Amino acid sequence: MLPLSEVKVLDLSRVLAGPYCSMILADLGADVVKVEMPKKGDDSRAFGPFVNGESAYFMSINRNKKSITLNLKAPKGKEIFKNLVKKFDVVLENFRPGTMERLGLGYDVLKKINPGLIYAACSGYGQTGPYTDRPAYDAVIQAMGGLMSITGFPEGRPTRVGASIADITAGLFTTIGIMAALVKRKSTGEGDMVDIAMLDSIVAVLENAIARYEITGKVPGPIGNRHPSITPFESFRVSDGEIMVAVGNDDLWAKFCQAIDKPELIDEPKFKINPQRVENYDALKPILQSVMAQKSVDEWILILEKAGVPCSPINTIDRVVNHPQVMARDMIVKIHHPTAGEIKIPGSPLKFNNAKVIFNPAPILGQHTDEILKELLNMNENEINMLRNNEII
């Protein structure tokens, strides 16, 4: 049995942060019903590239979910939504704050309908504070939250993380918030509202940058691919690319020097122990760089792995999807989609001894509308046809 198989989620979210959260809930067995605008659906259904008209982006983040169409601007659509809310444990949305209230479907309204409801709102800046009403994009949040200022090279420009990490970490914290509320509700029967912001989430994942700044008064800057206090612990240019090498302690230093055929460096007083290597970095780096430049990525990886020195090629995505460990962990899964055919998407990092995530394809728009209206609200064909003719569904 999957851990969340008794949990039902009514999901109004679109594009990334919210859908990433509901993907995890669905992977864990929750019954996730995506509520989409008739005709149009989740904006990301229109994001290319496409396979037989289906968006790769949408398919990879909406697996294991159901889809119903429902026009929440129409009074009849609101009525149906409220009736559905009675049957669900969780409502999830990632609209700009105030949107649900304007629709007459805010938490205050819904909790009267379903007092045990867990209502999760995921937004750019959160439901409170002077920035609450602003539109947010991942790139703006990465800039505002300080992550870009510590990513990149000292001589270069502040750098955006290549994945939408502000959306994704907000999605992860929203998942955690929902689950915490579920655990509590199992004891108390009480529902709650969860309010997650992308900006808060980025501040929370800056690691030690904030504590370091508060204590030293020194503003942390980008340090490229180096470790701040261990040497050598960085990427080196090699003959055909670049590799990451992590000489985490003095034992590894000896192994590394042997492996690169520079045994004379091991006991060289300037480099013998890590604090000296950090202090004499400017002397050490050119020596190592000139040796590393002499062989290729694959040659160095073979040599360093044999010597037990932690290292890795800087894998491009084609190498990642074929990586033996990635494959052994089922992190690339095949899904058969009714329209798109067989596609490969990332698997789930959530591994349990007593449960295994399964993967069903993302729904086509409104695929489960009839089924859900019949099963949960006891509607008949006639009622459903009338709703469809009136563009409510």
Q: Which residue in 40, 104, 116, 208 binds a second copy (CB under 8 A)?
A: 208
**Which residues are within 8 A (CB) of 328 and not within 5 positions of it... i.e. 6 or more apart?**
none
Both tokens of residue 293? Answer: 């430049």
Residues 215-234 that bind a second copy (CB under 8 A): 215-216, 219-225, 227, 229, 233-234
Whichever of 187 and 389 has its CB closer to a second copy, that residue is 187
Q: Which residue in 318, 378, 382, 389 binds a second copy (CB under 8 A)?
A: 318
Q: Is 368 exposed, middle or buried (0-12, 13-18, 19+ CB in 10 A)?
A: middle
Closest separation in Å from C-beta 84 to a second copy = 22
Closest separation in Å from C-beta 141 to a second copy = 8
Q: Does 304 bind a second copy (CB under 8 A)?
A: no
Q: Does 150 bind a second copy (CB under 8 A)?
A: yes
- 318 an active-site residue? no
| Contact present, 201 and 171 (Cβ < 8 Å) | no
Q: Does 293 bind a second copy (CB under 8 A)?
A: no
Whichever of 354 and 380 has its CB closer to a second copy, that residue is 354
| Contact present, 134 and 124 (Cβ < 8 Å) | yes
- Beta strand pairing status for 341-346 and 66-69? unpaired
d(CA 305, CA 40): 51
Q: Does 53 bind a second copy (CB under 8 A)?
A: no
Nearest to 338 by CA among 63, 70, 68, 69: 63
Whichever of 258 and 312 has its CB closer to a second copy, that residue is 312
Q: Does 187 bind a second copy (CB under 8 A)?
A: yes
Q: Does 203 bind a second copy (CB under 8 A)?
A: yes
Question: Of 32-40, 125-133, 254-262, 277-285, which segment contacts a second copy by CB under 8 A?
Answer: 125-133
Whichever of 59 and 70 has its CB closer to a second copy, that residue is 59
Region of 140 (left: φ > 0; alpha: ψ -120 to 50; beta: rest) is alpha
Catalytic residue among 138, 167, 192, 200: 167
Q: Does 56 bind a second copy (CB under 8 A)?
A: yes
Closest separation in Å from C-beta 137 to a second copy = 4
**Which residues are within 8 A (CB) of 292 and not within 5 positions of it... i.e. 6 or more apart?**
236, 237, 238, 243, 260, 300
DSSP characters over 130-193: TTTTS---HHHHHHHTTTGGGSS-TTS-----SS-HHHHHHHHHHHHHHHHHHHHHHHH---EE
Q: Does 24 bind a second copy (CB under 8 A)?
A: yes
Residues 253-282 that bind a second copy (CB under 8 A): none
Backbone angles phi, psi at 339, to 5 degrees: -100, -45
Cα 126 to chain center, whole Å? 18
Q: Does 49 bind a second copy (CB under 8 A)?
A: yes
Q: Which residue in 104, 112, 188, 356 binds a second copy (CB under 8 A)?
A: 188
Question: Of 32-40, 76-84, 254-262, 322-330, which segment contacts a second copy by CB under 8 A?
Answer: 322-330
Both tokens of residue 108? Answer: 């205050």
At position 141, the amino acid (one-letter code) is I
Q: Does 297 bind a second copy (CB under 8 A)?
A: no
Active site residues: 167
